[in-house]
Amino acid sequence: MDDVIRGHAARVRAADPLVAGQDELREPGAALIETRAAAGLATEDRIDPGSMRASWSPLIVHRLQARVSGADPEGALGGLLDRWTAGLRLDEPGQALAVTWPSRDTAPVRALAVRGFAPIAVAGVRRLRERTVSAPAVRRAGEGDLVAVARMYERLVAYDAQFGWVAVRPSTSARIKEFLTTEVLSLEWCWIAEAGGEPVGCVIVQPPARSAWMARAVNVGPVAYLSAMYVEPHMRGQGVAAALTSVAHGHAAAQGATWMTLHHALPNPLSTPFWARQGYRPLLTQWVRHVR
């Protein structure tokens, strides 16, 4: 297995030096699967339907953390996927399979596509540079903005739910308000854009001290994480999102962050081109398959 991991890490490093963590394979409680020129750790993630996480994922997700090497990485990944899926019990409703793969390591990924996996989300990254930002219509959100930010956050979840991975659940509204109150407005950075005195957009960023979970995937730092962005439909295409992003980038850089990361839905026709224009490029891609 060590040779497989070393070969995998070397190939990924050549494709994208920013991707971290590819030279190890560890996950407490995971089941080890080994095939020719491949190794993986399989886990089952059961999510509380009443939790905040339940709005961002199917409730049962089977995950594979894979490493492949050799002259035929596609074949190696294919064999590992077949062994993994053959051992799964998929008799409960609402299940899905997920494999996260370095975006620029494209040689193996046909093995995912031909087995019914589709790229649903990407972790993006861009460098930050400290600079002065002027955006008079953007201000820091406070406790008095809870209702407005919660309303926009709910609309963000509802929009992303169209693409099949996110879901609006009975608990979504309550969990969003709780999350904003206990975490975002008190511990993180949140800004609101206004037009005519009314909130029309928001952006939320986790500072480096709260972004360690994401920083582990990147070989640079300090890293901040842009967790949410929303602009009301009637204000799109007027520079609101760009202004929010600019303020978030400027503040994060001033606070010592040198890189910003985020996730966005690849099928989303708004976010994918927007984040590319803002300088983000793919780091990791999540490939998924729903179980019917």
- The burial class, CB within 10 Å (0-12 / 13-18 / 19+), for 148 is middle
pLDDT interval class at 228 (50, 70, 90): very high
What pLDDT is stored for residue 26 in this prediction?
A: 84
pTM: 0.95
Q: Residue 245: which region, alpha, beta or left (left: phi > 0; alpha: psi -120 to 50)? A: alpha
What pLDDT is stored for residue 114 in this prediction?
A: 99
Percent of the chain with pLDDT over 70: 100
Partnered with residue 223 across adjacent β-strands are 259
Query: Which residues are CB-contacts of 107 (< 8 A; sequence separation ≥ 6)?
Result: 11, 73, 74
Q: Which two tokens stand for residue 215?
A: 């920083």
pLDDT tens-digit map of 16-44: 999 999 999 987 778 999 999 999 999 99
Per-residue pLDDT, averaged over 79-106, amounts to 96
**Could you give the C-alpha distances from 183 to 52, 151, 178, 189, 230, in angstroms and in order?**
12, 17, 8, 10, 18
Q: What are the chain's domains?
A: 2-116 (no CATH), 127-282 (3.40.630.30)
pLDDT at 254 over 90: yes
What pLDDT is stored for residue 131 in this prediction?
A: 82
What pLDDT is stored for residue 291 in this prediction?
A: 94
What pLDDT is stored for residue 215 in this prediction?
A: 97
What pLDDT is stored for residue 136 in this prediction?
A: 85
What pLDDT is stored for residue 132 in this prediction?
A: 76
What pLDDT is stored for residue 27 in this prediction?
A: 78
C-alpha neighbours within 13 Å on the C-beta side of residue 101: 30
Mean of all residue pLDDT scores within the chain: 96
User: What phi and psi values does residue 178 have, to the nearest 5 degrees?
Assistant: -65, -45
pLDDT tens-digit map of 121-176: 999 999 999 887 778 899 999 999 999 999 999 999 999 999 999 999 999 999 99
Give the length of the chain: 292
What pLDDT is stored for residue 133 in this prediction?
A: 79
Per-residue pLDDT, averaged over 279-290, amounts to 98
pLDDT at 245 over 90: yes
- Cis omega (within 30 of 0) on the bond before 119? no
pLDDT at 65 over 80: yes
pLDDT tens-digit map of 43-57: 999 999 999 999 999
Tell me the C-alpha distance between 195 and 203, whole Å.
15
pLDDT tens-digit map of 186-209: 999 999 999 999 999 999 999 999
Q: How would you list the strands of the sheet with 31-35, edge to edge?
A: 31-35, 38-46, 60-68, 95-102, 281-290, 118-127, 259-265, 223-231, 198-206, 189-195, 138-140
DSSP string, 176-190: HHHHIIIIIHHHSEE
- Contact between 56 and 91 under an 8 Å Cβ cutoff? The reply is no
Q: Name which of 7-11, 23-27, 86-90, 253-257 the model is least confident about.
A: 23-27
Buried-state track 187-200, b at ≥16 Cβ within 10 A, e below 16? ebbbbbbeeeeebb
